[in-house]
Amino acid sequence: MLTAETASTLTGLLQRIIYHKAESGFVIASFQVEGQNEPITIKGTLGGFNEDETLQLKGRWQQHPLYGSQFLVEEAMPVLPSSLDGIQRYLASGIYSGIGEKTAERIVAAFGEDTFRVIDEEPERLLKEVPRFTRKQLEVLHQAREEQRGLREVMTYLHGAGVSNAQAQRIFQRYGLNSIQVLRENPYQLTELPGIGFLTADAIARKLGFAADSLERAVAGTVYVIEQQAQQGHTCLPQELLLEKVCTELHLPEERTRQAIDHLLQERQLKGRDSVHLTGGNQSLLSRPRFYFAEQRIAENLFRLLESAALTNFGPSAELLDACQERLDLRLDSVQHQAIQAALQHKVLILTGGPGTGKTTIIRFILELMLPQIPETALAAPTGRAAKRLSEATGHSASTIHRLLEAGNQGFQRNQDNPLEYELLIIDETSMIDTLLMDALLEAIPSPSRLILVGDVDQLPSVGAGAILQDLIASQQIPVVRLETIFRQAQDSLITLNAHRVRKGELPDLEGPLNSSELRDFYFMQEGDPQRIVDKLLRVCTERIPERFGFDPLNQVQVLTPMHRGLTGSIHLNQRLQEVFNPSGEGVEFKQWQFRVGDKVMQQVNNYDKEVFNGDTGQIREVNTETRELRVEFEHAIIPYTASELDQLQLAYAISVHKSQGSEYAAVLLPLTHHHYLMLQRNLLYTAMTRGKELFVLIGTPEAIDQAVRTVGTLTRYTALNYELAEVRRILDKAR
């Protein structure tokens, strides 16, 4: 483990680059400090500097348990060498194309310590006083010196503005010698760069003297606020609400914020919808363009499917259904019959219901009935875990939606121009699908295809922006079959019965102590103190569940939590669980995490290049502490991660309820207290309960459970899909 010791400034020669990661600029190198005999090891963001360059480094000493003392570079500046030997070696280092060792030797012999002044101020002297020195060499040398001076000026300016070395290098890579001009004109342009968000750009701008109420700040701040709201699930915001949030969060006057919104609308960085009916009256809705057009296309493509003829038509046949029931040895109730007939009749169908209501049974029947006539059928789900569950439940191969659409670094390969080649698509866990993914999916489905969307509308909405399943059902534009009946085999499960109680707004049955001799699948442990909750959770997870139920605590037991912060949040719980499951070994520190070999981790974002997606879980198999690289084993492959990609991972011993969607675990533990008051929602508790397949343990207070059950809709998402569906319907009706 690395521990900070001393902050220092060093000047010396960059001798040898041992390791360089081009995309991040991360370097491990040998560095000869002036006045010292032995070189030191340095590491940090040093992209753009070459061997044999003289640098001034600012940073801190660290002690590595294996490699000893190292210098972590936080800021680097080029410095011209002052010794004759240093000047000669610098000129011949390859920085100046066409200047070799012999030429460098002749230049230094002619001008000595005055070499750089002559090059910069009296360059024509090189032609006169240096033997065999050519005009072409002079031009190359002059141009390179101009670029170096520019780099030094830029780096000096950026560091003076409070920009970190890594950020400075990123800025220089994008804007080059124009970097200073960009910052002086509008430092908020930096938000275009990865790793430099609004808050960083704002701090730089304020240091450079930009007023707190400048139009530049108001424009960038408005984009920042609406993007933050997108991360909370909103595809749009009422204009007055956006105005209020920007004014409050950025302490801006209302008039300036209205000017910023008008500017963004004129520049098409915001798109507006006027007079949209919401609770409380008609309002103007504002969206970022990607959500605005995505919701439009979703509506248009759904009606495109609904209005087109199917390649294969099915007639509801009682004889056919009876024969299918015999083959599968299953019996359908009237609602399930209705669902299957609807699937045979409609181009697009939504099938929704809670656990134990027979959604999987219906999918199996549909496949049994349709596959003989439609072999070109695809099953898919938003996550790898959900796809695996769907495949196991149906006996047919299923993939993630991303793989179905052939996601890659250039986006989705399957689209309107290169559509999918399936006549029937069944998509499970539709509640998890966000707006952008649904847009991509529908764009790739050809008009004659059938689409069946399966999901539980009472679960939490998607992690990404939107409330697709909820909006589609509420629109009343798509045929829907809702399954309510809990079948006999499911009635034996307290998990299922309690989940349905919660869904209907009833308190779950909390009776049945953990020390009862009769094993159940649902237990409640009353505790209100957060620290004691953590202690109990650790003991139940690592001792009592393995002893009484035989589950592997690492691979079969999953801790869920409503929040990230606090003693019972995912960050602290992960740290405590890591101490139990994986307490030692080589690791790499990143923010609040220490990643070690054997750790359970989760992917936080979609990475199309690596084919790993938000919510995928894996286990770390290799750690390189020097280069800060990891190799993580997921279900489909072992994936490498560079130091710059560590922000894509988090420990997964404990995860949020949101991130558990689409997954199913043998055993689930959930802490729930009044400390989670912001997240005490009915759909959150319901979702958590339905993740436990064989065991669910709830640790908390009856008051918190009561609040969660009673709280509905306080986290309503702003979306415009309903509006777009109604608009398309209106246009179609008018055209008829």
Whether pLDDT at 352 is above 90 = yes
Q: What is the DSSP string of 118-171?
A: HHHH-THHHHHHSTT--HHHHHHHHHHHHHHHHHHHHHHHHHHTT--HHHHHHH
Map 288-354 to HEC letters: CHHHHHHHHHHHHHHHHHHHCCCCCCCCCCHHHHHHHHHHHCCCCCHHHHHHHHHHHHCCEEEEEEC
Residue 637 has pLDDT above 90, yes or no: no
| Mean pLDDT value across residues 524-546 | 91
Higher pLDDT, 228 or 74: 228
Q: What percent of the chain lies above the pLDDT cut of 70?
A: 93
- Segment 503-531 shows an average pLDDT of 79
C-alpha dist (Å) from residue 370 to 319, 331, 395, 423, 424: 15, 18, 15, 10, 9
pLDDT attached to residue 1:
34
CA dihedral 677, 681, 685, 687 (to 10 degrees): -130
Integer Cα distance of 156 and 56 in angstroms: 12
- pLDDT (tens digit per residue) in 220-251: 999 999 999 998 899 999 999 999 999 999 99
CA of residue 735 relative to chain centroid, distance: 42
Q: What are phi and psi of 729, to 5 degrees?
A: -60, -45
pLDDT classification of 477: cutoffs 50, 70, 90:
very high
The string of pLDDT tens digits covering residues 187-201 is 898 888 877 888 888
| Residue listed under structure tokens 């009862």 | 516
Overall average pLDDT of the 162-184 stretch: 78
- What pLDDT, on the 0 to 100 scale, is given for residue 2? 37
Element (H, E) at 63: strand 54-64
Q: What does the pLDDT look like over 409-466, one tens digit per residue?
A: 778 999 999 999 999 999 999 999 999 999 999 999 999 999 999 999 888 888 889 9
Q: List helix spans (H) across 525-661.
A: 530-539, 545-549, 570-581
- Greater confidence (680 vs 295) lies with 295
Using pLDDT thresholds of 50, 70 and 90, give the confidence band for residue 3. Answer: very low
150 or 260, which is more confident? Answer: 260
pLDDT above 90: percentage of residues in the chain: 36
Please tell me the predicted confidence (pLDDT) of residue 47.
57
**b/e string for 550-571 if b means 16 or more Cβ within 10 A?**
ebebbebbbbbbbbbebbbbbb
User: Position 359: which residue type?
Assistant: K
pLDDT (tens digit per residue) in 546-601: 988 999 988 899 999 988 888 888 999 999 999 989 888 778 888 778 899 999 99
Least confident of 31-45, 57-71, 215-229, 353-367: 57-71
3-state secondary structure of 618: strand
Mean pLDDT for 654-668 is 88
- The SS3 of residue 562 is coil
Tens digits of residue pLDDT in 694-717: 899 999 999 989 988 888 755 678
Does position 513 have pLDDT exceeding 60, yes or no? no
pLDDT tens, residue by residue, 359-414: 888 898 888 888 888 889 999 999 888 888 899 888 899 999 999 999 877 789 99
Output the pTM of the full model.
0.77
pLDDT 10s digits, 77-107:
777 777 888 888 878 877 777 788 889 899 9
